[in-house]
Chain A
């Protein structure tokens, strides 16, 4: 299967105050970026339950992004630090599941960084495109895609 034609499906959990606003800025500024990311808004990156990430992978995501405020800028003081801790632990666990840790990404995007959001989207999409689709654990066959 050629990776050229492969369009990764990405899920982004964006915090309401910084990253979601940053993404909004990228939109209102009419910046062009890879359309592969589906965004789910949460109030804080600290709200991202590891289950959400697992659920996203289970549903067929090829990559998951958690994006929050820069360290020290959290609207809720320290929610992004909690996201950071969970990201570290979950990355280890995903690795054990056979999901490359490159597929699970944590970024800090502030409300002013529309450009950064654009870069993150483009870069992440390109990275996952190179990695190829996430194969289901069922004998290494991508049943879902072929169906």
Chain B
């Protein structure tokens, strides 16, 4: 690398040495000397539009006013940022900008600092905020690369606009212009409409670079291609410019890798039941009907509400209903029990009690507190004053019948302990959504040649004796892909699956079932029918001996070749023709 040429200069009597090509503004920054700016941004080319960064630059025999943002330093320069001449020019410029954009707060601030009380020029529009600095235009051009906005007209009429004043197709809606605008003259119309709690809790993109969640492993940010300006227009690359570690890489892509392994542990997880499938519960229609996962996100310290339990209108709920078994234990959706909902619902009730003053109603069919310490926790909640109502909720509605129900969500439920239909008005409803098999469960099952049980969770080899194995050797199961289960159970099963896989690897040898097929050399006519039938290419034709031969290591013992052999030369151990004939005969012995 060539040595950059250093330039010495003084600013406000302080000497400083900077690299060649530095602007006066940057050199002043190095000395912590503040020069006011409006149209300057370190990421953009200087434009010198606002002209309030005026300083006096002296050389041996000259003295002139220059804009510090775009004037490069020269050897021996003497800069004065607060000289009477510089201040006078700056004040004049600020006054002119004040007249142009009287509503711009940032300009008012700068004026105050300079001791200007009011402008002596004529104000045309008292509401105007735009100072025509062009920062937005340059942002759109240089950073975003969309070129959606530009200056139009001349002189007094000059303004920033989209082509022909129409909504521009070139605009990608990145809102970068509004972000860069120094005077908040650009506002972004929120086309999404009112903020509802679901949207706020949306796990979707918020900024283009982010850490997926606070608990993410590994704890590193990633670029969301959907939201990133660079992936839309090919420009921007701000993150690359500012990242000192040079960690930004736009070329990185998902990679498909082939890894050779001896065994596979399937832990493909579950998907949450979509409560929109039960329209009566009003999820998606009522803002304050939320799912368990949304509540979990709301109550998390890193949530948009910083862990406060708030409704869509920002108020704390006075009463909350928790509906159990949403999508579970229901013949219309899933017959099975999702196991985890009772306990997480109790946890929610406890959290709500802890954080709010709300009345809590818990609607359950049965309390399934099966684990260690779970029943005790249930009792604790009973003592805390959570109201437990036994019965399946039939409907959540916002149609009030009494004054008391006005403006509330009313939960209709048959209280099976009272033997009565009840209407409970609440502010917020949490749906304890059940666990469902993953989206591509059947596809995974087919890929690994394993089976699914009736509810499409993966089928284990034996419910008691081989709960982590499958019908395919070397394929093991862990977690909710096998059945709904809580974290302790998942960890236990995962441990078992890992040790099963390790046991196979440790042994170094593999045991085959003694059911492989064999070919009787004496009987084989060498017709080769079996060769084409074998799905594992275990059979080869021996040209010398003119017979077919079976490779024991490849044969999986399906017996297809045996039933096709016209001479009975091929026989499957333990499933010989004679043995099966004997079985058939045995059946009919009275």
Contact = CB atoms under 8 A, between A and B. Distances in A.
Interface of A: 9, 11, 17-18, 21, 38, 40, 42-44, 46-52, 55-56, 59-61, 72-73, 75-79, 82, 86, 110-115
A75 B577 contact: no
Contacts of A60: 588
B469 to A, nearest CB: 13
Contacts of B556: 76
A46 B558 contact: yes
Given A79-B535, A82-B533, A40 B584 contact: yes
B587 A38 contact: yes
Interface in B545-590: 556-560, 562-564, 572, 575, 577, 580-581, 583-585, 587-588
Contacts of A111: 451, 453, 459, 471
B379 interface: no
28 contacts: A11-B584, A11-B587, A17-B471, A40-B583, A42-B575, A43-B559, A46-B558, A46-B560, A47-B558, A47-B560, A47-B563, A48-B563, A49-B580, A50-B563, A52-B584, A56-B584, A61-B588, A75-B472, A75-B558, A77-B535, A79-B558, A82-B533, A86-B563, A110-B451, A111-B459, A112-B452, A112-B454, A113-B454
Contacts of A9: 587-588
B449 interface: yes
Contacts of B472: 75
B580 A52 contact: yes
A43 B572 CA distance: 10
Interface of B: 446, 449, 451-454, 459, 471-472, 515, 533, 535-536, 556-560, 562-564, 572, 575, 577, 580-581, 583-585, 587-588
B511 to A, nearest CB: 16
Given A43-B557, A59-B584, 18 more contacts: A11-B587, A21-B451, A21-B471, A38-B587, A42-B575, A47-B558, A52-B580, A55-B584, A59-B585, A61-B587, A75-B449, A75-B472, A75-B558, A78-B535, A79-B535, A79-B560, A112-B451, A112-B453
B559 A46 contact: yes
Contact of B560 (A11, A51, A76): A76
Given A56-B584, A59-B584, A111-B453, A43 B558 contact: yes
Contacts of B452: 110, 112
B588 A46 contact: no
A111 B455 CA distance: 12
Nearest to B559: A47
Contacts of A56: 584, 587
A82 B338 CA distance: 40
Nearest to A52: B580
A143 B557 CA distance: 39
B523 to A, nearest CB: 15
B24 to A, nearest CB: 74
A76 B558 contact: yes
Nearest to B533: A82
Nearest to B452: A112
B35 to A, nearest CB: 73
A92 B277 CA distance: 49
Nearest to A69: B451
Nearest to B565: A49
Most chain-A CB neighbours within 10 Å: which of B454, B515, B533?
A: B454
A51 B580 CA distance: 10
Nearest to A86: B563
B577 A51 contact: yes
Contact of B562 (A11, A47, A72, A112): A47
Most chain-B CB neighbours within 10 Å: which of A47, A55, A56, A110?
A: A47
A49 B451 contact: no
Contact of B451 (A18, A44, A48): A18
A8 to B, nearest CB: 13
Given A51-B577, A112-B454, A112-B459, A42 B559 contact: yes
B539 to A, nearest CB: 13
Most chain-A CB neighbours within 10 Å: which of B535, B581, B584?
A: B584
A48 B584 CA distance: 12
CB-based closest 10 A-B pairs? A47-B559, A76-B558, A49-B563, A46-B560, A44-B558, A77-B535, A112-B454, A111-B451, A38-B587, A112-B453
B535 A76 contact: yes
A66 B533 CA distance: 19
Contacts of A79: 535, 558, 560
Nearest to B455: A112
B93 to A, nearest CB: 77
A40 B580 contact: yes
B535 A73 contact: no
A33 B330 CA distance: 26
B579 to A, nearest CB: 10
Nearest to A17: B471
A133 to B, nearest CB: 13
Contacts of B587: 9, 11, 38, 40, 56, 59, 61
A18 B450 CA distance: 10
Contact of A59 (B446, B558, B588): B588
A141 B485 CA distance: 61
A75 B473 CA distance: 11
A49 to B, nearest CB: 4
A55 B581 contact: yes
Nearest to B534: A76
Most chain-A CB neighbours within 10 Å: which of B453, B471, B583?
A: B583
Contacts of B453: 111-112
Contacts of B459: 111-112
A115 B557 CA distance: 28
A82 B532 CA distance: 12
B572 A47 contact: yes
Most chain-B CB neighbours within 10 Å: which of A42, A43, A50, A78?
A: A43
Contacts of B558: 43-44, 46-47, 75-76, 79
A43 B535 contact: no
A109 B562 CA distance: 23
